[in-house]
Amino acid sequence: MRLGLFGGSFDPVHYGHLLLAECCREQCMLDEVRFLPAAVPPHKPGRELTSGESRVKMLELATAGHPAFAVSRFETDRGELSYTVDTLRHFHRETPEAELFLLMGADMLNDLPTWRESAQVCELALPVAVRRAGSGEPDFDCLAAIATAERIGQIRRHQVEMPQIGISSTEIRRRVARRQSIRFQTPRAVEEYIATRGLYV
């Protein structure tokens, strides 16, 4: 089994997230992609997130009907700082037969060596660097201190390209607060959930 793990705040999930996951599923031939909303992301310590329950529900609405997409409550149920290495260890124990792929934007690759137990992260899962169409390759040499040359070669071969899509969760939250439309930026079911729950206002 080839299992893709896609972590993030997803506050809220939008079409850019879904397109990234689908491009990775197709280009890396993944059997399943699991979305992992973080409880407390280490890289966003200053911002209060919408409740984990709401972010999980929005992801479930957004991914409903896609047989290869699933949502995991592992990090939100733990309710602690969400370190990637801990999450990967959990899935390695839970599904030892699965080959794990860690989905991330190509811009995050440079930061990977600063993550907690980054060498272990690269051993437990294959980082998949997703770059936007027209952008150059990321600098894979930045991984030299935490991964073998063979592993870096695998990471390079599994990089994914996706179309340019200028949507962000930050901008969606701003638009909702200003009573502006977010139509076609997130699935309609998510848009309706935001409206009925009064999120981001």
pLDDT digits (tens, 9 = 90+) for 16-25: 999 999 999 9
What CATH number did the domain enclosing 125 receive? Answer: 3.40.50.620
Q: Please, are residues 12 and 190 in contact by the beta-carbon 8 Å criterion? A: yes
| Cα 128 to Cα 107: distance, rounded to the nearest angstrom | 11
197 within a domain of the structure (yes/no)? no
Tell me the pLDDT tens digit for each residue of 114-130.
999 999 999 999 999 99
Which tens digit of pLDDT belongs to each residue from 122-177?
999 999 999 998 888 899 999 999 999 999 999 999 999 999 999 999 999 999 99
The DSSP secondary structure of the chain, one letter per residue, reads -EEEEEEE--TT--HHHHHHHHHHHHHTT-SEEEEEE-SB-TT-TTSPPPPHHHHHHHHHHHHTT-TTEEE--HHHHHTSB--HHHHHHHHHHH-TTSEEEEEEEGGGGGGGGGSTTHHHHHHHSEEEEEEETTPPPP-GGGGTTTS-HHHHHHHHHT-EEE------HHHHHHHHHTT---BTTB-HHHHHHHHHHTTT-
Residue 130 falls inside a structural domain? yes
**pLDDT digit string (tens) for 42-63?**
665 567 899 999 999 999 999 9
Phi/psi zone of residue 175: left (φ > 0), alpha (ψ -120 to 50 degrees), beta? alpha
Q: State how far the alpha carbon of 26 is from the alpha carbons of 2, 11, 50, 124, 156, in Å.
A: 12, 25, 30, 21, 17
The pLDDT value given to residue 38: 94
**Does residue 181 lie in a domain region?**
no
State which residues form the domain around 47.
Answer: 2-166
Number of structural domains found in the chain: 1
97 domain residue, yes or no: yes
Residue with tokens 């879904």: 18
The answer to whether residue 48 is domain-embedded is: yes
**Which letter, b or e, does each residue of 147-166 get, where b requires 16 or more Cβ atoms within 10 Å of its Cβ?**
beeebbeebeebbbebeebe
Give domain status of residue 178, yes or no.
no
Considering the domain boundaries, does residue 198 fall inside one? Answer: no
Cα separation, 126 vs 29, whole angstroms: 13
* Per-residue model confidence (pLDDT) at position 6: 98
Distance, CA of 40 to CA of 98 (rounded, Å): 26
Q: Is residue 69 part of a domain?
A: yes
